[in-house]
Chain A
Amino acid sequence: MIKLYDYLLSANCYKARLLLSMLDVPHELVPIEFYPRREHESAAFKKINPLGHIPVIDDDGFILRDAHAILMYLACKYDGGRDWYPTGDPRLLGEVASWLQFADGTAATASAARLCINFGYDFDLEACQAGAHRLFRVLDEHVWFREQEGLSWVASAAAPTVADMALFPDVALSEEGGISREDYPALRRWTERIQRLGGFIDMPGVLPVAPLPS
């Protein structure tokens, strides 16, 4: 069974948990106490990931680190239909890769702001928040135009992809970093659509949404 080295309150670990749940892949969570013990920086954990980051998965001895790498691996291995990581469509795959890159930016801004506030990290909070707003403006416009095209997700596919999973936690938890989503109505609708997907799981800070009328 896949082992996920995980911390409940980590946005990056949440990406891996989300996709595991949506793909319905049996897995075991190995809690790593990120705060306050900083267990991810311990000598024992650095034997698993010398960078001292979570999440890390151990799939039958195959160790893989970094949230986005884990998303790609899980989608390729466990999604037979290849919707989540559309390797059969070069354009779509390019879109997904570019939004994964974008998600590195939201992690470095929106999620970094959350680390400042919730976990005492010494980043420049205002710079993180301003950077997150710059990216959210771009993403909100992108998602708004997707809606105008009759589409629901970040990439131009009919089904969600790993790009949605990579972006969702940073956006959904942004208020914890002091980044209001009042100015991003399309992003607020997009996060609700993700929360209504089958297999969706929440985490502390992600509030439940109403089901759509049947």
Chain B
Amino acid sequence: MTAPDPASLLHPVAAGADLVPRHVVRSRLFGRRLAIWRADDGFINIWEDRCIHRGMRLSAGVNDGAELVCQYHGWRYSNRNGNCTYIPAHPGEAPAGALRVATFACAERYGLVWSGDSADASPPSIPALEDAEVLVLRSLPVNAPVPLVLEGLARYSFRPTAALGSDIPVATSADAGNPFSVTVTATTAGAASSVVFFVQPADAGRCVIRPVLSPAPAPGERLVTLRHHAGALEELRAQLEDARPTEIAVPLPVATLEPLRSGGTGGAAGGRRPQLQVRVARKWLCAEGITAFELVPVTGELPSFQPGAHLDVHLPNGLVRQYSLTNGPDLTDVYRIAVKLEPDGGGGSRLMHDSVHVGDVLDISTPRNNFPLRRDAARTVLIAGGIGITPLLAMAQTLARQGLTWELHCFARSDDHIAFGEMLDSLAGSITRHVGLTPEQTGHELGRIVRPYAPMNHTYVCGPGPMIATARALAADAGWPEAAVHFEYFKNESPRDDTSAFEVALARSGRSLRISAGESLLDGLRNAGVDLPSSCEQGACGTCIATVLEGEPDHQDVYLNGSERAAGDRMLTCVSRAKSGRLVLDL
């Protein structure tokens, strides 16, 4: 037999039937341990069986249908791309995008699940299995090396139908077509069937025999057929394991499998450059004046996201707009956003509504999360004004899936103005619609909603500026600590003053520069070669935040809360400036 090139092939790692709901299968390929789980949406994840935090086996973890949770410290990893979505020890922070388990290629064929180190490879195509219904027989782990097992399997003999007695002659032929499989065909007068044995190279000296029978027997003969083959294989295993000490077992080289990275992100680090291309897969009116878009990757898979995340859409006319992802954790193969038509806006929403169509390709940023959701609250109160429901919808779905206590209040002009109204009905939770209220009535309702502060309560507010301001003031009056009141503005409507001029020293790069009146700190930094990421560039989203080491910032954003402003240790470089003549930044 020629030496196999393991890298060019996919190998079976589980039977499809092993991946029962909310379960994690433990497997191994070329010495590498694998955790394999099927999400509720059907996607099969094949991951390195190791939490990136402390090395705990992920195959011991909890498959909650959309995320895999490590048993050790509760790190959660997303379906599809394996990005870490939540770290319980840092409940208020979005995990860095680089936190990701190693993921491997996956394919399904002949009732088996296949993996390997090449994304382009496909499972072997076996003629005997192509033309008929097949039956996956019971797999059998064997403590013997692959070549020995393949030799043994070539001697396998069986009865082509269960009805045949053992005294009827059966002709058997083996065909070693693929370096990791053997096909054995048994024929007798009037009946023929084939068993294809795929051998999973688990480790040096250990493999798993995964047999597939073609054609599948009649339903009445299924069990007796399964038992016939299980018995015959058991006998073969006993021989193989007994024979092992006299064999000179040549262990297969243990290949180092390179984890597959999802395409698209390209590694563009900073600035406001688009990082990903997506295609509009679906566009529909999800409420009065609100259009929803579903975006799918042009190549590869979408980077993961957490509830509260937004992305930049780079429009064909050069405008850059921010939209929150409305996806719950169940929906990982598309990004779903909603755009409200703003007739008096800068034209971005008009363009999205009128000129972006299904099939169009858009440049976007990867999702960023400056509005992260804690999952350790005793009670979470979500307050949405108008289109501000979008990030809160993602939060509500996450809280509902985890069975946490939450309530969602939607303020809108009418029921027809509530985006994804029909989805709200399907969410198990307390949802209250407040429609057609005047500003005074809205204030009154907000007062009722935020009144009872209790420890471990958190509230998340997103909506028009005045509404957020009212909710924050009412919450403060009701004794809510600032750290428990989270908010996200659409835009920064406060007056801005860029008349100051000041000196900026960059502590890490050892440079200093001068910001003149009319020039933003962010632009000054970029001109000096510091490529800081940014998104809204008006002081609302928090992407361009920098740490202040010395000096007094002149905050002009709407992202930081009062105590964060007073602390003076962080600032948004797009709009904020300096009150002191000099700032030292940790850049």
Contact = CB atoms under 8 A, between A and B. Distances in A.
Interface of A: 141, 144-145, 148-149, 181-183, 185, 188-189, 192, 207-213
Contact of B21 (A183, A185, A208, A212): A212
B418 to A, nearest CB: 26
16 contacts: A141-B138, A144-B138, A145-B227, A145-B230, A148-B223, A148-B226, A181-B26, A182-B26, A182-B28, A183-B141, A185-B18, A189-B20, A192-B23, A210-B62, A211-B22, A213-B21
Contacts of B33: 182
Given A141-B138, A208-B71, A213-B65, 13 more contacts: A145-B226, A182-B27, A182-B28, A185-B14, A185-B26, A189-B18, A189-B23, A192-B23, A207-B71, A209-B62, A210-B22, A210-B63, A211-B22
Main secondary structure of the interface of A (DSSP, over half): loop
Shortest 5 CB-CB contacts between residues of A and residues of B: A210-B22, A183-B141, A210-B62, A182-B26, A207-B71
- Chain B interface main SS type: mixed
B216 interface: no
Nearest to B227: A145
B64 interface: yes
Contacts of B569: none
A165 to B, nearest CB: 21
A210 B65 contact: yes
B62 A149 contact: no
B204 interface: no
Interface in B22-80: 22-23, 25-28, 33, 40, 60, 62-65, 71
Contacts of A208: 62, 71
Contacts of B27: 182
A17 B564 CA distance: 52
Nearest to A175: B60
Nearest to B237: A137
Contacts of B71: 207-208
Q: Which of B26, B28, B64, B223 is most buried by chain A, counting CB atoms within 10 A of its CB? A: B26
A185 B13 CA distance: 12
Contacts of A212: 21-22
Contacts of B23: 188-189, 192
Interface residues of B, number: 27
Contacts of A185: 14, 18, 25-26
Interface string B289-330: 000000000000000000000000000000000000000000
A209 B14 contact: no
Nearest to A141: B230
Contacts of A182: 26-28, 33
Nearest to A183: B141
Nearest to A208: B62
A196 to B, nearest CB: 9
A209 B141 CA distance: 25
A192 B71 CA distance: 15
Interface in B214-236: 222-223, 226-227, 230, 234
Nearest to A133: B143
A145 B444 CA distance: 64
Contacts of B230: 141, 145
A210 B208 CA distance: 27
Nearest to A211: B22
A185 B20 CA distance: 11
Contact of A188 (B26, B141, B222, B223): B26
A148 B20 CA distance: 14
Contacts of B234: 141
A50 to B, nearest CB: 40
Most buried by B among A148, A210, A213: A210
A192 B59 CA distance: 13
Of the listed residues A144, A145, A149, A182, the one surrounded by the most CB atoms of chain B closer than 10 A to its CB is A182
Contacts of A145: 138, 223, 226-227, 230
A209 B71 CA distance: 10
A171 B179 CA distance: 36
A156 to B, nearest CB: 13
A183 B20 CA distance: 17
B60 A207 contact: yes
Contacts of A183: 141, 208
Contacts of B226: 145, 148
A128 B73 CA distance: 32
Nearest to A184: B141
A213 B227 contact: no
Contact of A210 (B64, B222, B223): B64
A183 B25 CA distance: 10
A141 to B, nearest CB: 7
A209 B59 CA distance: 11
A208 B234 CA distance: 33
A183 B60 CA distance: 14
Contacts of B25: 185, 188
A211 B64 CA distance: 8
Interface string B549-581: 000000000000000000000000000000000
Contacts of A213: 21-22, 40, 65
Contacts of A141: 138, 230, 234
B54 to A, nearest CB: 15
B150 to A, nearest CB: 19
Contacts of B63: 210
A144 B17 CA distance: 11
A212 B23 CA distance: 9
Contacts of B14: 185
